[in-house]
Amino acid sequence: MIDSKPTTDGQARPTAQTPAATQMRAIVQDIYGEPDAVLRPQDIAKPVVKDGEVLVRVHAASVHVGDVILLRGLPYFLRMATGLRKPKHRVPGTDVAGTVEAVGKDVTQLRLGDEVFGWCVGAFAEYACAGADHFVPKPANLTFEQAAAVGVSASTALQLLRDQGKVQPGQKVLINGASGGVGTFAVQIAKAFGAEVTAVCSTRNVDMIRSIGADHVIDYTKEDFTQSKERYDFILDNVGNHSLSATRHALTPPGSCSPTAVVMRTVAGSAPWGASSRCSCPRCSRVSNCARPSSFRTERTWSS
């Protein structure tokens, strides 16, 4: 018999009185550091579903750059949001896919047994619990592993292209850092919007990027897109390896740029996501106000 007592981070610690049925296996983190040094498996209290929430039995969870930043607690200013001396949330992970195990009061869109994907706090466990609007039905043609990889990366790409860039058919879009998590989704979403897509990546990823639909591929080891005569209506910069003035040079007069690399580093510590960042350069009025999706409802629109 194991018992659990509440702690300041809202998650229970096991003691010797709780029935095993209320326990689950999870990956936990009690200090900041490198993954190999701070992550360990442990039996902890299974989440209890509340009004408006859904309990999901996790079939797959993915890892993105924000998870790594949270594990390390770097840069240090992020700890103002994530916990000064140790993480506020013991169980890391946000992107998840699984089966609905229980629903709280007033939940009408999801039922027991539904296959869903979305985001939560504490995805690296057997069970995860979050508001019902954090999950959407999993398309039948996606595996749990594929659906779990959508999460933060895809919703970031969607919002930046649709809401920030307002990409339209026929526009020229450049994706810098096209082979990463956000970049691979951005290439496909921009193509779905009817844009002419130029993707920037390394030599080893050129063929892969062509295979997902890029019209033009620039190998950054051989060519610098900021030195080209080509101009773009929208640039999604996932790398931040050029100055803003150099990037502006590659834009059409009304064009705009979303510096995703800066934004991801700034808000990666927010859980749930809800921060925003505006470029502070007074001369760069064409850099978009970039924000993380405030909820996974963005993904509901894309997948419907």
Q: Are residues 176 and 238 in the same domain?
A: yes
In the chain, at which residue ranges do the beta strands (DSSP E only) sit?
Answer: 3-5, 13-15, 23-29, 39-45, 53-62, 95-103, 115-119, 127-131, 135-137, 172-176, 196-201, 216-219, 232-237, 251-258, 276-277, 290-291
pLDDT of 254 reads 94
- Written as six digits, the tokens of 58 are 């996790």
DSSP-based helix, strand, coil % in the chain, nearest 5: 30, 30, 40
* Count of the separate structural domains present in the chain: 2
Q: Are residues 213 and 264 in the same domain?
A: yes
Q: Are residues 167 and 269 in the same domain?
A: yes
Select from 132, 149, 166 the last residue of a domain.
149
Least confident of 29-43, 157-171, 270-284: 270-284
Determine the structural domain holding residue 266 and report its residue range. Answer: 152-303
Residue 271 has pLDDT above 70, yes or no: no
pLDDT of 94 reads 94
pLDDT of 278 reads 33
Render pLDDT for 121-153 as a digit per residue (tens, 0 to 9): 999 999 999 999 999 999 999 999 999 999 889
Residue 8 has pLDDT above 80, yes or no: no
Q: Are residues 115 and 172 in the same domain?
A: no
Q: Return the higher-pLDDT residue of 203 and 290.
A: 203
CATH (domain of 133): 3.90.180.10
Please provide the average confidence, as pLDDT, over all residues in the chain: 83
Q: Are residues 56 and 19 in the same domain?
A: yes
**Helix residue ranges per DSSP H, 176-279:** 181-192, 206-211, 244-249, 260-267
Select from 104, 129, 149 the last residue of a domain.
149
Residues 23-43 have a mean pLDDT of 97
CA-CA distance, 15 to 205, in Å (whole number)? 50
Element (H, E) at 218: strand 216-219
CATH (domain of 198): 3.40.50.720
Q: Are residues 144 and 223 in the same domain?
A: no
Q: Are residues 156 and 293 in the same domain?
A: yes
Q: Are residues 176 and 233 in the same domain?
A: yes
Q: Are residues 212 and 140 in the same domain?
A: no
What do you get for the CA distance between the two ends of the chain, in Å? 45
Select from 123, 149, 175 the last residue of a domain.
149
Q: Are residues 140 and 158 in the same domain?
A: no
CA-CA distance, 114 to 259, in Å (whole number)? 37
Q: Please, are residues 88 and 94 in contact by the beta-carbon 8 Å criterion?
A: no
CA-CA distance, 173 to 237, in Å (whole number)? 11
Render pLDDT for 240-259 as a digit per residue (tens, 0 to 9): 899 989 999 999 999 999 88
Rounded to a whole number of angstroms, the CA Rg of the chain reads 21
Phi-psi region of 213 (alpha: psi -120 to 50; beta: other; left: phi over 0): left
Q: Are residues 127 and 168 in the same domain?
A: no
Q: Are residues 196 and 126 in the same domain?
A: no
65 confidence band (pLDDT: 50, 70, 90): confident
Residue 266 has pLDDT above 60, yes or no: no
pLDDT of 261 reads 58
